[in-house]
Amino acid sequence: MQALRMTLCAATMAVAFAANAAEVEVLHWWTSGGEAKAAAELKKMLEAKGHKWKDFAVAGGAGENAMTALKTRVVSGNPPTAAQIKGPAIQEWGEEGVLASIDDVAKKEGWDKLLPPVVSNVMKYKGSYVAVPVNVHRVNWLWVNPELLKKANAKVPTTLDEFFAAAEALKKAGIQPVAYGGQPWQDATVFESVVLGVGGADFYKKSLVQLDQNSLKSPTMVKALETYKRIKPYTDKNAPGREWNLATAMVINGKAAMQFMGDWAKGEFLAAGKVPGKDFLCVPAPGTAAAYTFNIDSFAMFKLPNKDAEKGEKDFASAVMSPQFQEVFNLNKGSIPVRSGLDMSKFDACGQESAKDFAATSKKGSLVPSMAHGMAVHSATQGAIYDVVSQFWNDDKMTAKQAADKLANAAKVK
């Protein structure tokens, strides 16, 4: 790490004097331990290029507070250099006409070759890059406490049938099978993994990305909904409102055996001093080994008043995509680099598998955007889908058929 920093400083010192200094103000919500460390790396890199880093961190989970702060700044005509915006929200901001193109940086560094097309399309508005991706999170993971599984004589599930068999065995052994957090976004996270497991990547794309009415009402969707609801008896009564990290803690402490959650859960395990592959396992969510739901953090670039500021903006974009930053950042954050062809030897087993699957699914076309994490559909549609999924999970009177019809209606919300 120290050596890396030294080379970084040396390499960038030369250009630092030539470049005009600009104030680079970046809005983000990386305020938790590992995240803040990752953000500090970025700051160091930009300062090495001679720019002044102005931190604009707004605390608050999924960034709702940050978005409110951002809207205020943009409406008052004083946007930050870049803001943590991801997925179709980039298009929504693009439609508001406030984003700036960074095509020249992207062309010079060959981003089109470095990023899978499903990813680069998200970063573009009307064909030109307006955002730079930071990392890739895999959402369709299942986190397993192997000790509890051993106790119940259950094996690590790879298909949904095996999953329910294992859950049944665990329940018989008096162990809570699934740790569950009952918040709408977590409901949706589990749901989309089940849809992927039941219907496969093509069905997932048709239903949850393209919002095809027939797919949403199809028997496959009904089956996916039924399967999703079958998980409920294996969770506990206190799940509603529980935070995801508390659910993860249940797996860590041996109170529950499995959790459906994205790879940010790994950070909790590591922070608790657990070793991947030994104390906990990361396996693809049952039935989804051949697919990959991605959640990519990115920074959208805003139109700025002068050339110096634009220079700072471009240096920022280039720094974010640089191999050094991608490695350092993702080692801290628990995710994997978004650019292809990086050496993954410093990453743990989960990270290496994630990177391997990311590349493989990208070639096969089963790399799909996560609906639950704002990568697939507009925020209004996503919210409407959340509502249906949560309602279906909580309301035992609603049938899967009714829920499928409601999903189809929710998909029409624009």
Partner 1 sequence: MSSYNGPAQYGFAERWLPRLVLAPSFLLTLVFVYGFILWNGYLSFTTSRLLPNYEWAGLAQYVTLFENERWWVAVKNLFIFGGLFIGGAMAIGILLAVLLDQKVRQEGALRTIYLYPMALSFIVTGTAWKWMLNPGLGLEKLVHDWGFTNFTFDWLVNPDMSIYTVVIAGIWQSSGFVMALFLAGLRGIDDSIIKAAQIDGASLPRIYWKIVLPALRPVFFSTLMILAHIAIKSFDLVMALTGGGPGFSSDVPATFMYSMAFTRGQMGVGAASAMMMLMTVAAIVVPYLYSELRGSRNG
84 phi, psi to nearest 5 deg? -70, 95
93, 163, 244, 358: residue in contact with partner 1 (rule CB under 8 A): 93
CA separation for the pair 61, 373 (Å, rounded): 13
Q: Which amino acid is at 365?
A: G
Tell me if 78 contacts partner 1 by CB under 8 A: no
Smallest separation, CB 384 to partner 1 (Å): 8
Stretch that binds partner 1, among 14-22, 130-138, 275-283, 379-387 (CB under 8 A): 379-387
Closer to partner 1 by CB, 146 or 240: give it.
240
245 binds partner 1 (CB under 8 A): no
HSE (side-chain half, CA atoms, 13 Å) at 218: 17
Part of the chain binding partner 1 (CB under 8 A), chosen from 155-163, 191-199, 363-371, 373-381: 373-381
Q: Which stretch binds partner 1 (CB under 8 A): 30-38, 178-186, 218-226, 278-286?
A: 178-186
Q: Which residue stretch of 165-173, 209-217, 238-246, 304-312 sits at the interface with partner 1 (rule: CB under 8 A)?
A: 238-246
- Residue from 260, 377, 382, 400 touching partner 1 (CB under 8 A): that is 382
80 counts as binding partner 1 under rule CB under 8 A:
no
Residue 215 near partner 1 by CB under 8 A: no
Among residue numbers 288 through 347, which ones bind partner 1 (CB under 8 A)?
none
CB of 181 to partner 1, least distance (A): 11
Asked if residue 203 lies in contact with residue 284, where contact means CB atoms within 8 angstroms, the answer is: no
Query: According to the binding rule CB under 8 A, does residue 234 interact with partner 1?
Result: no
**β strands within 285-414, DSSP E:** 292-301, 367-369
Residue number with CB closer to partner 1 (237 or 363): 237
Nearest Cα neighbor of 221 from 405, 380, 356 is 405
| Closest separation in Å from C-beta 403 to partner 1 | 12
Binder to partner 1 among 8, 89, 198, 338 (CB under 8 A)? 89
Does 349 sit near partner 1 (CB under 8 A)? no
- Under DSSP, is residue 342 helix (H, G, I), strand (E, B) or coil? coil
* Alpha-carbon distances of 153 from 5, 145, 149, 386, rounded to whole Å: 48, 13, 6, 35
405 binding partner 1? (CB under 8 A) = no
* Least spacing, CB of residue 209 vs partner 1, in Å: 18
Tell me the C-alpha distance between 276 and 334, whole Å: 12
HSE-CB of 78 using CA atoms within 13 angstroms: 4
159 binds partner 1 (CB under 8 A): no
Q: Which stretch binds partner 1 (CB under 8 A): 107-115, 280-288, 347-355, 389-397?
A: 389-397
Q: How far is the CB of 239 from partner 1 (least distance, A)?
A: 7
Strand segments (E) across 333-393? 367-369
Element (H, E) at 281: strand 281-284
- Using CB under 8 A as the binding rule, whether residue 380 contacts partner 1 is answered as yes
- Determine the residue type at 288: T
Q: Does 174 bind partner 1 (CB under 8 A)?
A: no
Q: Is 365 in the site for partner 1 (CB under 8 A)?
A: no
Closest CA to 256 of 385, 166, 159, 360: 166
The residue type of 325 is F
Of 23, 112, 202, 395, the one binding partner 1 (CB under 8 A) is: 395
Q: Is 85 exposed, middle or buried (0-12, 13-18, 19+ CB in 10 A)?
A: buried
Closest by CA position to 315, among listed 47, 37, 9: 47
Residue 393 DSSP SS3: helix
CA 59-60-66 angle, 5° bins:
70
Binding residue (CB under 8 A) for partner 1 from 75, 275, 349, 360: 75
Q: Which residues bind partner 1 (CB under 8 A)?
A: 64, 67-68, 71, 74-75, 89, 92-93, 95-96, 182-184, 236-241, 378-380, 382-383, 387, 390-391, 393-395, 413
